[in-house]
Structure 1
Amino acid sequence: MIITSENFIKHLKKGREEALDFILENYAGLVKAVIHNSLKNYNDPQIIEECISDTFMGAYENAKQFKGNEEDFRKWICTIAKFKAIDIQRKLHKVPQPSELDGTSNPVKSAEEEFLIKTSTKELLIMMSKLDQLDRYIFTMKYFLNMKNDEIALHLGMTKAAIDNRLYRGKKRLHQMYLGGILT
């Protein structure tokens, strides 16, 4: 069986290892870039490689939940990569840093960072799946591909104000879902 860009999603959903090989071959560079961007401060290639492996295994194991085309898959796997990197950051931050032990540092976190810390990866993916497709694209570009609002606006043919509004309303909706326990 030959796996192509037209049929890899179907075969991945069926659990075929050939489809996993296909996504490894075609998306490894993209996944590595997303993860490296998130974990580069740790200067540990082993952590980055482990996160890359976890990303592809997560995509393989959860492929049945994926809905969309090849472009949607690209964004989906980037989202998984970013969440896996966040999970690793959480684990690494549980170890007290020297500045935390002597009480000299108390960094202020943004609302997004606080929200991500308090919410598991799976919950965030479920909640994001409840957003409109356009809002999911905007959130993926903003928080997982680290694009600026004006870049997103240009890419989507929208105004920066429209992107700002959608981000604001989307964050508000995610927060309401989180507080309301709407995960199904």
Structure 2
Amino acid sequence: MRVTDENFIKHLKKKREEALQYVIDEYMGIIKAIIYNALKSYNDPQIIEECISDTFLGAYENAKQFRGDKEDFRRWICTIAKFKAISKQRRLSKMPYFYELNETGEAAISAEEEYLIKTTTEEVLIMMTQLEQLDRDIFTMKYFLNMKNEEIAIHYGLTKAAIDNRLYRGKKRLQQIRLGGSMT
């Protein structure tokens, strides 16, 4: 039997390798983007490739636990990718990290990368608990599932501008929380 868009989940649950190959072909782009965005500061393609492989292997091994349709599967495998990347970050953060140096001998690191290194994912998740449920969901979709603002807007029946505003206000709120202030 041929693995298709309609039956790949059923075949993956039966541990058919053709279904795994279908999933890899179908979802490689988004999985690679999620993991690359999370691990790019380590500047090591081997780490990224290993994490991508771990993601697909994790989906293959745990397919029987999955419940839902194709769209749910996309979110599920993206969540696996994000958590594999977070796990890899935690392991790597315990190891010495060497920065690339620029011409002046200073670490060539952007402000965003510096913030990400200082603020662990766990801290961000804890801070996010202080946001409203809708804002937490929007942040999760945007920054953990790498969904576009337009996709999130369609999902919630809101305008793209409303999503943009919620993300902006949420970032400001998280910044206030991190600095120890309160914005009520």
TM-score (ref. length: structure 2): 0.63
Partner of 1:60: 60
Q: What are the Cα deviations for residues 134-175 of structure 1, in whole angstroms up to 9, with x where unaligned?
A: 9997464134134587873454213749x96xxx9xxxxxxx
Q: Are residues 136 and 69 of structure 1, via their aligned partners in 2, closer, same or farther at CA, if it must alter by over 3 Å?
A: farther
Counterpart of 2:119 in structure 1: which amino acid?
A: K
Once residues 8 and 70 of structure 1 are traced to their aligned partners in structure 2, the CA distance between those partners, rounded to angstroms, is 9
Identity %: 67
Q: Are residues 148 and 30 of structure 1, via their aligned partners in 2, closer, same or farther at CA, if it must alter by over 3 Å?
A: closer
State whether structure 2 residue 82 is matched by structure 1 residue 82. yes
State whether structure 2 residue 119 is matched by structure 1 residue 109. yes
Within-5 A mapping of 1:4-153: 4-97=4-97, 109=119, 113-114=122-123, 138=138, 140-146=140-146, 152-153=152-153
Deviation at 1:39, TM superposition (A): 0.9
1:75 touches 1:140 (CA, 8 Å); kept in 2? no
Partner of 1:130: none
Deviates more, 1:58-67 or 1:30-39: 30-39
Once residues 25 and 150 of structure 2 are traced to their aligned partners in structure 1, the CA distance between those partners, rounded to angstroms, is 32
Gaps of 5+ in 2: 100-113, 127-133, 171-184
Once residues 98 and 46 of structure 1 are traced to their aligned partners in structure 2, the CA distance between those partners, rounded to angstroms, is 16
Gaps of 5+ in 1: 100-104, 118-133, 169-184
Counterpart of 1:113 in structure 2: which amino acid?
A: E
Once residues 7 and 67 of structure 1 are traced to their aligned partners in structure 2, the CA distance between those partners, rounded to angstroms, is 14
4+ residue segments displaced more than 2 Å: 96-99, 107-110, 112-117, 134-140, 145-156, 158-161
TM-score (ref. length: structure 1): 0.63
Larger radius of gyration: 2
Count of residues paired in the alignment: 144
User: RMSD over aligned Cα, in angstroms?
Assistant: 3.6
Deviation at 1:25, TM superposition (A): 1.1
Deviation at 1:53, TM superposition (A): 0.3
